[in-house]
Chain A
Amino acid sequence: MTSPLIRLAIKSLLHHRVRSLVLVLCIALIGVLPLAVEGFLKLYRTELESRSLSTPLAVGAPGSRSDLLIHALYFRGEVEKSIPMKIAREVAELGRVTPVPIHLEGTVRDHPLVGTTPDYLSYRNLKLAGNGQWPQRLSEAVIGSAVAKKQGLAVGDKVPTDSEELYDLGGGYPLVLKIRGVLEPAGTPDDEAVFVSLQTSWVVAGEGHGHIAVDPKIDFHLIMENKSDNVTMNAAVLEAVDVTPENEGSFHFHGDPDDLPLTALLVDAPNNKGLTLARSNLRRNEELLVLDSKSELDELLGIVMQAKVILDMNSLLVLLATIILLGLIVTLDVKVREREVKTLERLGAPRGFVARLLFTEIAIVVGMGAFLAFITARAAISWVASGSLPTF
């Protein structure tokens, strides 16, 4: 049963419903930002930490530590320099650990294109949905669940990589990728990525290429210059390179395979001992940057948290301003309701009854505002967590 005091307070709030609604909305608006920020930070922190915990060791070329961390773990941004493929071979030769090379170059409809080996699947405990297959041949790809959903792609579809230099006629062409598998949702950056073999990734980066057979009699419209010993073709007319059984054999890489670039190298160790050995061996190489992902991430989050302190201070000031404003509204309200207050007093309202009534009204308004703020913030966080907005 509702107490008479609460009933009177509710009746009064309902009577002044516009004022009450405005107050509730104001408090909700003030509360939703810090609550949502707190929730987002917690969500991101959890996601970031779980990724860093599952990736204890990341290796790259010397440069920005945070760039390498973000690049290797979350497939975002670029690293200044690459490391040679031979580092992966050397790590493999150590035994006890498995190198998981990463070559991140280019995008597919703005999703990162990740060149790696099949070891990546087991390293991340990723599973292929249905009867999909990990890329076996050049230009084959496996896409993350979010990529499939957002881009409406499925096994058997073809999709070109994004043009890097639209007006660079001499540049690399987009490569048509054939989707061989879709990953099951993992709630990690893998959902947003497109995976190919290292060879495919190197071709996209221009490290390798193929040759197209041209018959001057048939493809005469592509000919720019035709000399007795050389035919020069117009490169601008090709929109994308499609690897077919006919031309697949012509794709090749110049130079030493050991020198082909990796943008990062992850190390899969079955236990701490293997990890420690690999770390200590890799750190001897001054040409490498070896990161303990967890401690790097903690440092990075520390900087973010410092920024949050400023936001918290701002929220506190807004809260103080709101309390003062609320006090003013209550004071004015008492003036407006002077007659009502006088009637209650004359009818014998117990001492402090009017104060308790006003306090109850404020408590209801603040409570409803806070509840609305909480619900809105939770909805926003759930929306983000469900993948409606990109997460890390």
Chain B
Amino acid sequence: MNLGFKVDVTGLKHRHPGQDHPVLVESLNIAAGEKSAIIGPSGCGKTTLLSAIAGILVPTEGEVCVGDETISSLGERERRSFRRDKIGLVFQEFELLEHLDIRENAFLPLWLDGVEAGEKDHALLEQRASRCGIADLLHRKPHALSQGERQRAAVCRALMTTPPLILADEPTGSLDTGSGEAVLELLFDEATLTGSTVIVVTHDRSLLDRFDKVHELSGREVS
């Protein structure tokens, strides 16, 4: 088991080009190993916050700390490397590459690091795929899978590097209630096994009671 990262966001302010109002997050603190939900109305900046935590964007102002690293002050190269190695990402639209099969999609984080998947990685994938319920689907291309199976495959990919932090942006948004619950269950089970911190942006209030904490974007803790 690895120790998950704590996440601290302080005074975050980010203005997207052409947007009138900047995204504001006064303070957000997520403890290591915690499973947190981020909620808020559309356009309030949930995805912006997640992107800032992931180091995909650098906020105009404020500080984002992930683990012991102040990711908002890292250079582009370091942020990419940090994201590759330490963060698992799950997206609403799965973002699986259509020209790769599920096995290759799962190994993509390794390939981006210039690393060829070894025997250990194959064994790990088999294990994870089995727990994700996609062990028989590894040779298939994404278009040959159902929506739920694709999101399971995306979760499997996010877990391949055993990241201390898992960020999921509306992971259930494209799924029916049953499939959404199953995917979230899977994400939590795997995070529990590895001790990873999980932050999920969601609209689905019926899922909130499954989280340790729920944060509203205004920074006000709601439960």
Contact, CB under 8 Å: B116 / A1 = yes
On chain B, the residues within 8 Å of A339 by CB distance are 95
B90 to chain A, nearest CB (A): 11
Most buried by B among A4, A339, A353: A4
Query: Given A14-B99, A348-B83, do A7 and B77 touch, yes or no (CB 8 Å)?
Result: no
Interface range on chain B: under 10, 10 to 19, 20 to 34, or 35 or more? 20 to 34
Contact, CB under 8 Å: B76 / A7 = no
Contact, CB under 8 Å: A4 / B99 = no
On chain A, the residues within 8 Å of B108 by CB distance are 344, 347
Interchain pairs with CB closer than 8 A, number:
68
On chain A, the residues within 8 Å of B91 by CB distance are 343, 346
B80 at the interface (CB under 8 A from A): yes
Contact, CB under 8 Å: B76 / A348 = no
- Judged by DSSP, the binding face of A is helix
A8 to B87, CA, bound (A): 22
B84 at the interface (CB under 8 A from A): yes
Contact, CB under 8 Å: B111 / A8 = yes
Q: Which of A4, A11, A16, A348 contacts B116 (CB 8 A)?
A: A4
B43 to chain A, nearest CB (A): 20
B112 at the interface (CB under 8 A from A): yes
Contact, CB under 8 Å: B115 / A348 = no
Within 8 A of A (CB), among B77-136: 77, 80-85, 87, 89, 91, 95, 97-100, 104, 108-116
On chain A, the residues within 8 Å of B80 by CB distance are 348-351
A340 at the interface (CB under 8 A from B): yes
On chain A, the residues within 8 Å of B115 by CB distance are 4
Q: Which of A340, A345, A348, A351 contacts B97 (CB 8 A)?
A: A340
Contact, CB under 8 Å: B112 / A347 = yes
A3 at the interface (CB under 8 A from B): yes
On chain B, the residues within 8 Å of A353 by CB distance are 112
On chain B, the residues within 8 Å of A344 by CB distance are 108, 112
Contact, CB under 8 Å: B114 / A348 = no
A351 to B55, CA, bound (A): 14
Contact, CB under 8 Å: A350 / B99 = no
Contact, CB under 8 Å: B98 / A347 = no
Q: Mark B34-54, 1 if CB is under 8 A from A, else 0.
A: 000000000000000000001
Since A348-B82, A349-B80, A350-B112 are in contact, a sample of 10 more A-B pairs with Cβ atoms closer than 8 Å, ordered by chain A residue number, is A5-B111, A7-B111, A8-B111, A11-B99, A11-B100, A343-B95, A346-B95, A348-B87, A350-B77, A351-B80
Measured CB to CB, the residues of A under 8 A from B are 1, 3-5, 7-8, 11-12, 14-16, 339-340, 342-351, 353
16 contacts between A and B (CB under 8 A): A4-B114, A8-B100, A11-B99, A12-B99, A14-B99, A16-B99, A342-B95, A343-B95, A346-B89, A346-B95, A347-B83, A347-B95, A347-B108, A347-B112, A348-B109, A349-B84
Nearest 9 A-B pairs (CB), nearest first? A15-B99, A348-B84, A4-B111, A348-B83, A343-B95, A348-B80, A349-B112, A11-B99, A12-B99
